[in-house]
Amino acid sequence: MKKWLIIIFSIISVLVIDLVTKHFLFTIEYFNLIPNVVSIASNGGNTGAAFGIFSNKTIWLVVISVILIIVLFVFNYFIKNKNVLYCLSFGFIVGGALGNLFDRIFLPSHAVRDFIYLDFLKTFPTFNFADTFLTIGAILMAIYLIFMAGKSEKK
């Protein structure tokens, strides 16, 4: 039960952080948060996935996102050794996916609101907190799967 609370709390936290920051920061024309490092600015929205791939393929991206979330919950059912790392990584991935899915389904433009620029990486695309949590969650999940999955939990 404690592990489900961690998962649910992390999903809700990621979703709230993502949607609140998108609401307040996406409308900023330009703000240099850390000079030559990070800026906040609206990019007009991204109708594609990471790095703009599948632009204007909203229906496919919605279908793929829903399938991914369902597959993750099925995968979660079969994972027996759930530790805090696993629960957080699962919550980060699902919360991030739901954050971007919300934009694709409920915004009139069906575009994901990206607003974070890494100024020191000139060609790096803009992103948002959902993308950040998805990436961190995927890295943590990889660490879990490589080093911890299948190991018996010590009581």
- Note the pLDDT tens digit of each residue in 9-22: 999 999 999 999 99
Give the catalytic positions in this structure: 114, 131
List, in order, residues 6 or more apart from 10 with CB less than 8 Å away: 87, 88, 90, 91, 92, 95
- Can you give the pLDDT at residue 154? 53
Which pTM was predicted?
0.90
Could you say which residues of the chain have pLDDT below 50? Answer: none
- Can you give the pLDDT at residue 56? 77
